[in-house]
Amino acid sequence: MKVLKYSKKLLIAAIPIVAFFVLWQIGASFAPRGVLSSPTKIAAAMWTEFLRTKPAMNMGGLTFLQHTTRSIFRIVKGFALAGSVGIVFGFVLGTFFKPLEKLLLPFFQVCEKLNPFAIIPVFMIIFGIGEQEKVAIVFWAAIWPVLFNTQAGAKSVDASLIKAARTMGASRFKLFTGVILPYTLPSVFTGLKLGIRVAFFMIIAAELAGATSGIGWFYIQQKVAYKLALVYGSILFITLLAIIFNALFTRLEKHFLKWKEGVFK
Evaluate whether residue 9 is within a structural domain: no
All residues at 6 or more sequence positions from 155 whose CB lies less than 8 Å from its CB, including other chains:
94
Contact between 91 and 104 under an 8 Å Cβ cutoff? The reply is: no
pTM score: 0.82
Structural domains in the chain (count): 1
- Taking CA 218 as the corner, what is the angle to CA 213 and CA 224, rounded to the nearest 5 degrees? 125
All residues at 6 or more sequence positions from 179 whose CB lies less than 8 Å from its CB, including other chains:
157, 161, 162, 165, 170
Residues constituting the chain: 265
Nearest to 201 by CA among 138, 123, 134: 138
pLDDT number for residue 265: 44
pLDDT number for residue 261: 52
CA atoms of 226 and 247, how far apart (whole Å): 33
CATH of the domain at 221: 1.10.3720.10
Contact between 49 and 230 under an 8 Å Cβ cutoff? The reply is: yes
Contact between 163 and 98 under an 8 Å Cβ cutoff? The reply is: no
Evaluate whether residue 254 is within a structural domain: yes
Helix (H, G, I), strand (E, B) or coil at 28: helix
Q: CA torsion 45→46→48→50, rounded to 10°?
A: 170
Contact between 137 and 120 under an 8 Å Cβ cutoff? The reply is: yes
CA atoms of 191 and 111, how far apart (whole Å): 17
pLDDT number for residue 53: 79
| Parent domain of 182 | 42-54+64-263
Q: How many helices (H) and strands (E) does the chain have?
A: 12, 0
pLDDT along the chain (265 residues), means of 10: 65 81 84 81 89 74 86 92 92 80 83 82 83 89 92 80 70 74 86 90 82 84 86 89 86 72 46
pLDDT number for residue 263: 44
CA atoms of 167 and 174, how far apart (whole Å): 12
Evaluate whether residue 12 is within a structural domain: no
pLDDT number for residue 79: 93
For 34-50, give one letter per residue: b (16+ CB within 10 A) or e.
eeebbbebbeebbeebe
Evaluate whether residue 243 is within a structural domain: yes
pLDDT number for residue 264: 40
Evaluate whether residue 24 is within a structural domain: no
pLDDT number for residue 4: 65
All residues at 6 or more sequence positions from 221 whose CB lies less than 8 Å from its CB, including other chains:
58, 59, 60
Evaluate whether residue 75 is within a structural domain: yes
Evaluate whether residue 252 is within a structural domain: yes
**Environment class of residue 148 by beta-carbon count within 10 Å: exposed (0-12), middle (13-18) or buried (19+)?**
buried
Contact between 155 and 188 under an 8 Å Cβ cutoff? The reply is: no
Evaluate whether residue 27 is within a structural domain: no
